Structure formats: structure tokens, C-alpha cells
Structure 1
Amino acid sequence: MPSARCWSDVELDRVVSQRVVPALSAQGFCWLDGVLGEVGGAAVLEQVRRMHLSGALKGGRLMRAAPGLSGSAVRGDKIAWLSGAERGGDGVNALLMLVDKLVSSAARRLQRHISHRSKAMVACYPGGGAGYVKHVDNPSNDGRCITCIYYLNQNWNSADHGGVLRIFPEGKPYEVDIEPLFDRLVLFWSDRRNPHEVLPSHATRYAVTVWYFDSQEREEAKRLCRERNDSENSTSSDTSVE
């Protein structure tokens, strides 16, 4: 039986310095294959499949309603959120620990103040043409800085199965298609530099996504949110009838 991949600090630093940082700096995105190895990737896949079959994944919700479109017409995935500490969650926990190290190392070299990340969003596109229309993860400076997506799709053939991640790099006259292949990790800037979509999937498609936050932008977003809430509360109080 093949062993799970174990990254040494030297290997991780080399990949970050030679591949991740140059790619994020030059084009705004990159991807790595063979991240956890066959055994490690299979452990994550088993956990995600178990969640899917148990009914733990629910329809993804939109931050804002899209004019003239229902939520399912915009995004067709079913999702759940994990911390990595759940019982039976060793696979996802190992994934998060590795991605944390990768992003932390990259952030230092890129001089970005990454403070924390979201929980892991487990997502399943159940086939039948389910996808996600073109969008930006962080269009409003909410603090999300780097998007990381780990794919779990064995024997995936995009010609038959679809489900490609299509990125539209800002200011470029081309798109980039990335296949959602098993044990592949994609990283890209979460802001307007990388509008992207998930093309219709014709087979069950699994992924795990996390977002890393820029501490300064996140604090500013929280401050503005508090000010809006205070203003709304003040206006509501002023117009109330006794």
C-alpha cells in the first residue's frame, strides 16, 4: 500500500518559493498536484463522500441575490462547513494543516498579513449540469485574501464530466481552465483580480475550499460594518413612534 505524502519543511519552503509565490505574483493563481498523495487524498475523499451520502451537505446560499436568477441557477453545489476537529475528520484536518503551512509561508514572502482562515467548505456538485456562474469571492474588501480549493475527483475527464474551474484574470484577454483533478490544490487571490466560474458538471464533483484573511482588511471591514449597524440603529431609534 502506498504511504501518505509527508512534506518536509525544506520541500514545502522550496515549493512555496519556487512555484507558489512566483505564480501568485506574476499571474495571480497557481495549482499544485500530488498534495496529499494517494492515501491522504483518499482519506479526505472518504470523509466527504460519507457526508454527502448521509445528507449532511445542503444547498449553498448566496451573499446577495442575483437579479432575475434563483439561487440554484447561480450555484448548484451542496455544502457543509468543517473545522477539521470533527470526529472521524483526520483527512480534512491533515489537509488544513498542510494548507495552513503553505499559505503562511507564502504570506511571509509576499508580505501579506494573514491572520486566520475560514472553516473548510466541503462542496459537492451533484452532476446534472450543476455549476456556479462567474463571480468574485471578495468583491467588497471583506478581508478574504487567498482562496484555496482542494479537489477530490478521481478519474475525472473534463471532456465528459465538465466541471472545470475557469478563471478570468483581470486585464488579460484570455481565460484559464483548471481541471478539478484528484489531489490538486488551487490557490488564487480572492479579490477582483480573479473572477471565476465552475462550468456545468455532469458527474458528482467534490472539493474543499478555505479562505485566508488579510488581518488589516478584515479589521477595516468589521469597523465599517459596526458603523453601518450603529447608523441603522440610530436611524431606527430616531424614527420610532412612542
Structure 2
Amino acid sequence: MATLPLTTDSGDDGGHYLDLLANQGWALLPGFLSAELTAGLRWEAMQSNDWKRAGIGLEGATHNTIRRDHTIWMDGKTPAQAQYQGLMEDIRLAVNRAFFAGLFEYESHFAHYPPGAFYRKHVDALRGRGARVLTSVCYLNPNWCAEDGGQLVMYNEQDTDILARIEPNGGDLLLFWSERFPHEVLPARADRYSIAGWFRRNLETANPL
């Protein structure tokens, strides 16, 4: 599993994650968020009463056999969310410079996997047909251990081999190209919190008539 020695709340660290995105299509950035920001975001998520069952597809239909997590869309209006979205803006600008990716905006939501929750294997965007270009997953779980489950399993583009099993450790950030990698979240055995996000192209650009 590839890792990067990032300092807390760095956002860039000289662009080493850009090399990994270019060479292997994904990058794990351990310790991307400071412990303080990780704790602040986790506290916001845990205190909220706005959780909704996560949906599937454009119409957001729920389906117990595919996913059982709950989500809250982020609006950036709290100091912690604004700080997090500022870091994502730094990544958006860096990826655009490096790959001429045309990333137009970033959307994200908190995700909560209660014990027993999972998300079956899927891809985040249909190849050549979606606005989502680059996926981000940032973890908010202190003191997570392997026995707690909830690992994200990433498969190669042919969906024949496992590339990585990623522990949802607090402060770590995962980036990967949305169209390329099937992935799943294994059943959690403890409350698992994260932020899932997508850097998007403008819909008119992504889906020209």
C-alpha cells in the first residue's frame, strides 16, 4: 500500500500525491488532517440529528442489500467544515494544474456506518458519462483497529485483484479517480465516521450534447 509522509493539514506537501495519482491512479495521505480538525469534524457529525439513509443512483433510492450507511451533506458553514473545504480547494487547484482536469466544484457528505453497515462493490462514476472525476474519502475515527472492520477494499480496473485494504484511520485521506476503481466498504463492527467527497466537472462539460 502506498503512503505519503504528509504533515498535518498540509493539503499539498509538494505534490507527491500528484505523482501517485499519475502513476497508479490513487493515493493514500496518512495524517492529512490534524487531530484537532479530525476531532472537530467528528464531533459535528456525532451531534447532528440530520442523518438520512444513503441512497443509490440519481433518484437516491435506498437498498438494504447494497448499502446501509447514513449521510449528511456538508454546507461549509461551520469553522471546521470551512477549514476542511479550504484544504479540498487546494487539492482541486493542484489537480487542475497537474492534469488539466477541469475540476469545477467539490461536494461532500459525512458518512456514518453503524455496526453492521457496509457498502457493496461499486464505482463512483460510469466511464465517460459522469461529472464526478476524483473521489476523496477522509476518515474521522481515532484509535481504529483491524478488528473493528469497516475497511475500504479497492480493486484494480479490471476488477480481478485487490489493490489495497485501507483502514479508516482518523485524519487519513484517500484520493482516487472516480471512474477507474471498483471499491467496497466491509461491514463495520464499531461506529465508523468519514467524509466522502467528489471533485466534479461542470455537467455541461462532462456530458456534452
- Alignment TM class, shorter chain as reference: 0.7 to 0.9
- Partner of residue 228, structure 1: none
Offset of 1:223 from its aligned partner? 4.9
1:197-236 equivalence runs, <5 A: 197-215=184-202, 218-221=203-206, 223-224=208-209
Give the superposition deviation at 1:99. Answer: 1.6
Post-superposition CA distance 1:127-154 (Å, at most 9, x none): 1x21000001101521110001110011
Whether the aligned pair in 1 keeps the contact of 2:71 and 2:109 (CA below 8 Å) is yes
1:100 aligned to 89, 98, 103, which one?
Answer: 89
Structure 1: distance between partners of 2:80 and 2:8: 12
1:40 and 1:164 map into 2 onto residues whose CA distance is 22
Aligned counterparts, 1:97-176, within 5 A: 97-118=86-107, 120-127=108-115, 129-139=116-126, 141-158=129-146, 160-171=147-158, 173-175=160-162, 176=164
1:76 to 68, 74, 90: 68
> Would the aligned equivalents of 1:151 and 1:208 in 2 still touch at CA under 8 Å?
yes
Q: Which has the larger radius of gyration?
A: 1
Query: How far apart are 1:28 and its partner, in Å?
Result: 1.1
- Summarize the Cα distance change of 1:5–1:62 in structure 2 as closer, same or farther, 3 Å threshold: same
| 1:59 pairs with one of 44, 48, 53 | 53
Q: Provide, for residues 198-230 of structure 1, a one-character-per-residue CA deviation record: whole Å limited to 9, x for no partner.
A: 011111000111111134xx3145555xxxxxx
Q: Where does structure 1 lack aligned partners over 5 or more consecutive residues?
A: 225-242
Q: Give the TM-score normalised by structure 2.
A: 0.87
Count of residue pairs brought into register by the alignment: 199
* Contact 2:9 2:87 (C-alpha < 8 Å) held by counterparts: no
Q: CA deviation at 1:27?
A: 1.3
Q: What is the aligned-residue identity percentage?
A: 29
**Superposition CA RMSD, Å:** 2.1
Secondary structure in structure 2 of the residue aligned to 1:71: coil
Give the Cα separation in 1 of the matches to 2:9 and 2:55: 36
CA distance in 2, matches of 1:173, 1:46: 38
Q: CA deviation at 1:82?
A: 1.4
Q: Which structure has greater helix proportion? A: 1
| Contact persistence 1:131–1:201 (CA under 8 A) | yes
CA deviations 1:151-176 (Å, max 9, x no partner) are 00111112x11100011121375311
Helix, strand or coil at the partner of 1:63:
coil
Give the whole-Å Cα distance in 2 for the aligned partners of 1:6 and 1:137: 26
TM-score, normalised by the number of residues in structure 1: 0.76
List, as ranges, runs of 4+ consecutive aligned residues in structure 1 with deviation greater than 2 Å. Answer: 4-7, 171-174, 220-224
Matched residue of 1:43: which SS?
A: helix
Distance 1:139 1:172, change over 3 A: closer
Is the partner of 1:36 in helix, strand or coil?
A: coil
Asked whether the 8 Å contact 1:5–1:40 carries over to 2, the reply is no
Alignment match of 1:22 (pick from 19, 23, 26): 19
